Structure 1
Amino acid sequence: MVTGTWREWTLDDASAWLSEPGADDDKYRRGVLGVITGSPDYPGAAVLGVEAAHRTGVGMVRFTGPRAVRQAVLAARPETVAVPGRVQAWLLGSGMDSTNRSFRLAGELQHALASGLPSVLDAGGLDLVGSHTGPTVITPHRRELARLLHDRDIPCTVEEIDADPAAWAERTAQQLRVAVLLKGAVTHLCDPDGTRITVTESTHWLASAGTGDVLGGIIGALAATHHERLAHDAAAITHLAATAALIHSEAARRASDAWEGGPVTALDVAHAVPAVVGGLLRR
């Protein structure tokens, strides 16, 4: 496969997509992220995504995921609002099993996607691509992408994606008409409009459980804070996702440096996000 020119997203690129709250901002103007993630088997996915969203600087996180998961989310982040209401972007699917949805959960996910609001589809929400009505980015790793394409009758193997991730990310964006963030040591981001961006991991310690959930929370937070821009510039979601990937990478590096280059956990990465955002704002 032949792809176009890709460019590496930089700290200066990312800083241009961040801003501090002003004197006239409140939690609604700053953005409300709706989150439907996690499951009784994987409650940590919801905790990590919510944690990361709060630490990225969103105005409010509204968690309306499975009832069994809410207690864990509220124990970790008591400022989270756990009742339905106004939101300006959605994070959907992390820590869920797409083959085991209750009728009620399926209805909540479809209702969110029918809202026309910006959406981040991760893990157990990837199969919902195509039912979205607003600016949307999907965040698969290579195994999830192979499965998604196979289910859409597009022959593809993990080995083929490994051999040419850029081409497969681009093909997915064109076939599914959605922004794609294909996770890896080099993350590839593209959309049907021809945007092609790479973000190279600052540390391979990111290859651990839960870090993808943290990334989803960062993207969701940025989508919520930029909801007004996304209402008239849907393609901006690709640049916001690239900014989130860079923040995620830099947070992992900072967390590892705190342990003299040692291993980090997903929660370590989430906790390092504010310092990265602050540094980017000062550029």
Structure 2
Amino acid sequence: MRTAYTVETVRTAERELMARLPEGALMQRAAAGLAAACAGLLGRVYGSRIVLLVGSGDNGGDALYAGARLARRGAGVTAVLLNPDRAHAGGLAALRRAGGTVTDAGQWEAAVERADLVVDGIVGIGGKGGLRAEAVPLAAAARRARAAVVAVDLPSGVDADTGEVRGAAVRADLTVTFGTHKPALLVDPAREYAGTVRLVDIGLELRHRTPELEAPQHADVARLLPAPGAESDKYRRGVVGIAAGSARYPGAAVLAVSGALRGGAGAVRYVGPAKDAVIARYPETLVSDRGPRKAGRVQAWVTGPGAGDDAATVAEVVREEVPVLIDADGLRLAEPAAVRARTAPTLLTPHAGEAAALLGVDREEVESARLTAVRELAARYGAAVLLKGSTTLVAPAGGRGAVRVNATGTPWLATAGSGDVLSGLAGSLLAAGLTAVDAGSCAAYLHGLAGRLTAHGAPVSAQNVADGIPQAWRDVSRAG
């Protein structure tokens, strides 16, 4: 499991480690890792031209010490000091001893334009609210230059804890982060500014601290996926109920069932007006026209996809004392008080627009502060929340604790019906016995991977994605 920790947690761990190390040793570890990453990106260090954009914090010190190491290997290293009086004295002295230089005030832009590599050491992990005015031209020049851009720990101008970008920020090709990932490196929109991320181990002790984010990998998902045993039958494996679709949107029901059939449960029951379309496409589905309460044995329900204005069915499902996933129209139709009153697990699966409607804010506010939004929704509804998007987030009920983040997807998944497949898949995992957070994060992982496998850089339909789930499942299972 890849993990990310808050700035406060990282700084506490750093202070504890520095108390056990000689003075300056931790910065030297970071500088060594940074220099090695820069050298790897350059390929040939000797004769290369490197520009350091140096702020007044420790990130500036890391950049200066790394620059000194590269200068000793024959690189021409130039430092641009945003605040010369507050530059890290030890790092600056080391750079000069190694043959590095500091630009004159009017010459930094030409140095950036000629550079092979630009190192962003402007702002550390405590920066808030975008770059200050004096740093904006530097970031713009770095973006225009032909040079590769390496960010120290985090691209300057992004919020480390939330992933928000509230102003101008550096766009990096590579971010070299120290000790642990920071939330902004895993969550959009900041993630888009980080480029490739390389983690350098500097010895921080974080195992007994609660992470802000967890990013499951193949092996983590493999451990969670249900597998039938010798004594399994369809009921022991779980039965998922799908209450979805309408006369206007029968396809939503078909697609939700398609995801559910591939999600590990032993059987799928369908209730709703699209039963003829469902049974025609998937004859193994158990269909009923007597409503959710009389549909038969069910271990979890999915409601909402394509429901139109069928508030009565959504309300009936919400009252059921089994795990329930609410998606699409169900998010609009379900009574918030009824959702909060549930005692069985609940998983809400909005996209940014639906989340904005539930929170009473603009969509842009959700998209710019995704981590804040998913926690607020989980707290407000007392439910686990899967917030769809380029980085899908899954928050535990109540909004506290580690949020799961998934980035296996592809932009080609932004297609009609894709979310219906995801809902059916997650509902099936709920019926198979996974917790709401595990079901949501595993479903997002498999769904994203299936999208990648089937797209291959070309458009895909929601049904293509559903058809790709078994291959994604096999790929993940092999890692376990």
TM norm structure 1? 0.87
Identify which of 239, 258, 263 aligns with 1:32.
239
State yes or no: 1:20 paired with 2:215: no
Distance 1:41 1:169 in 2: 30
In structure 2, what is the equivalent of residue 248 of structure 1? 447
State yes or no: 1:225 paired with 2:432: yes
Distance 1:240 1:6 in 2: 17
In structure 1, what is the equivalent of residue 281 of structure 2? 76
TM-superposed CA distance for 1:281, in Å, is: 2.3
Distance 2:349 2:443 in 1: 12
In structure 2, what is the equivalent of residue 209 of structure 1? 416
State yes or no: 1:141 paired with 2:351: yes
Distance 2:337 2:475 in 1: 37
TM-superposed CA distance for 1:29, in Å, is: 0.4
State yes or no: 1:114 paired with 2:319: yes
Structure 1 residues 1-283: aligned runs within 5 Å: 5-66=212-273, 69-83=274-288, 84-97=295-308, 100-101=309-310, 106=312, 108-127=313-332, 128=334, 129-132=336-339, 133=342, 134-150=344-360, 156-191=361-396, 192=398, 193-226=400-433, 236-257=435-456, 261-283=457-479
Which letter maps to 1:15? Answer: A
Q: Deviations over 1:261-283 (max 9, x none)?
A: 21111000000111111222232
Which protein has the bigger helix share? 1
Distance 2:450 2:219 in 1: 16
TM-superposed CA distance for 1:159, in Å, is: 1.2
Residues 130/14 of structure 1: CA separation in 2 closer, same or farther (3 Å cut): farther
Is 2:306–2:329's contact at 8 Å kept on the other side of the alignment?
Answer: yes
TM-superposed CA distance for 1:115, in Å, is: 2.0
Q: RMSD of aligned C-alpha atoms?
A: 1.7
Q: Deviations over 1:164-194 (max 9, x none)?
A: 1111111111121111111101111112242
Aligned residue-pair number? 259
Q: Greater Rg, structure 1 or structure 2?
A: 2
Q: Deviations over 1:139-172 (max 9, x none)?
A: 001111111222xxxxx11111111111111111
TM-superposed CA distance for 1:95, in Å, is: 1.0
TM-superposed CA distance for 1:79, in Å, is: 0.6
Distance 2:402 2:321 in 1: 22
Is 2:212–2:402's contact at 8 Å kept on the other side of the alignment?
Answer: no
Q: Deviations over 1:10-46 (max 9, x none)?
A: 1122111113211100000001001100111111111
TM norm structure 2? 0.52
Which letter maps to 1:278? Answer: R
Give structure 1 stretches of 5+ with no counterpart: 151-155, 230-235
Which letter maps to 1:91? Answer: V
Aligned to 1:30, what secondary structure does the other structure show?
coil
Q: Deviations over 1:39-70 (max 9, x none)?
A: 1111111100101111223211000122xx11
Relative to structure 2, which stretch is displaced further, 109-118 or 215-224?
109-118
TM-superposed CA distance for 1:135, in Å, is: 0.2
Relative to structure 2, which stretch is displaced further, 171-180 or 129-138?
129-138
Which letter maps to 1:9? Answer: P
Distance 1:138 1:172 in 2: 9
Distance 2:475 2:234 in 1: 22
Q: Deviations over 1:102-135 (max 9, x none)?
A: xxx60x4333222210011001111424424210
In structure 1, what is the equivalent of residue 190 of structure 2? none
Q: Deviations over 1:77-110 (max 9, x none)?
A: 001011211100000001122xx22xxx60x433
Aligned to 1:58, what secondary structure does the other structure show?
coil
Is 1:215–1:244's contact at 8 Å kept on the other side of the alignment?
Answer: yes
Q: Deviations over 1:184-235 (max 9, x none)?
A: 0111111224231111143110011110001001100100111xx6xxxxxx
Distance 1:275 1:34 in 2: 24
Give structure 2 stretches of 5+ with no counterpart: 1-158, 163-210, 289-294
Is 2:242–2:270's contact at 8 Å kept on the other side of the alignment?
Answer: yes
Aligned to 1:120, what secondary structure does the other structure show?
strand
Moved over 3 A (4+): 1-4
Distance 1:25 1:130 in 2: 38
Which letter maps to 2:352? Answer: R
Distance 2:250 2:470 in 1: 23
Aligned to 1:131, what secondary structure does the other structure show?
helix
Distance 1:49 1:194 in 2: 29
Aligned to 1:137, what secondary structure does the other structure show?
strand
Aligned to 2:256, what secondary structure does the other structure show?
helix
